[in-house]
Amino acid sequence: MLTGVWCADTKQHERLLAPHCGITIRCTRSRTCACFFFCLQVYRSGSVIVAVIRIGLTLSMRPGQIQPNDFERAILDRLAIKIPTIHKSLDQLHVLSREYTGVGGYTNFLNGDSSGDASDQQIGLDDLITMPGVPNGMGAVLFCKGGRPQCLEVFTYGDDRWDGVYDRFEIEPTV
For residue 83, what pLDDT is reported?
87
For the cut 50, the answer to whether the pLDDT of residue 11 exceeds it is: no
Residue 51 confidence (pLDDT): 60
| Per-residue model confidence as pLDDT tens digits over 115-141 | 566 678 999 999 999 999 999 999 999
Distance CA 97, CA 94 (A): 9
SS3 14: helix
With CA atoms as reference, report the closest residue to 4 among 38, 43, 27, 41: 38
Out of 29-33, 58-62, 87-91, give the one with best mean pLDDT. 87-91
Which residues are paired to 48 by β-bridges? Answer: 45
The pLDDT value given to residue 32: 36
**Which residues 6+ apart lie within 8 Å of 98 measured at CB?**
58, 61, 65, 105, 106, 107, 108
Res 118: pLDDT: 66
Position 67, amino acid: Q
Rg for the chain, CA atoms, rounded: 17
* Total count of residues recorded for the chain: 175
The SS3 of residue 12 is: helix
Q: What is the dihedral of CA 146, 149, 150, 152, to 10 degrees?
A: 150
Q: Please tell me the pTM assigned to this model.
A: 0.64
In tens, the pLDDT along 42-88 reads 656 677 666 655 555 444 444 457 899 999 999 999 999 988 888 88
With vertex at residue 101, the alpha carbon angle to CA 157 and CA 154, rounded to the nearest 5 degrees, is: 50
Name the residue among 114, 46, 48, 51 with its Cα closest to residue 85: 114
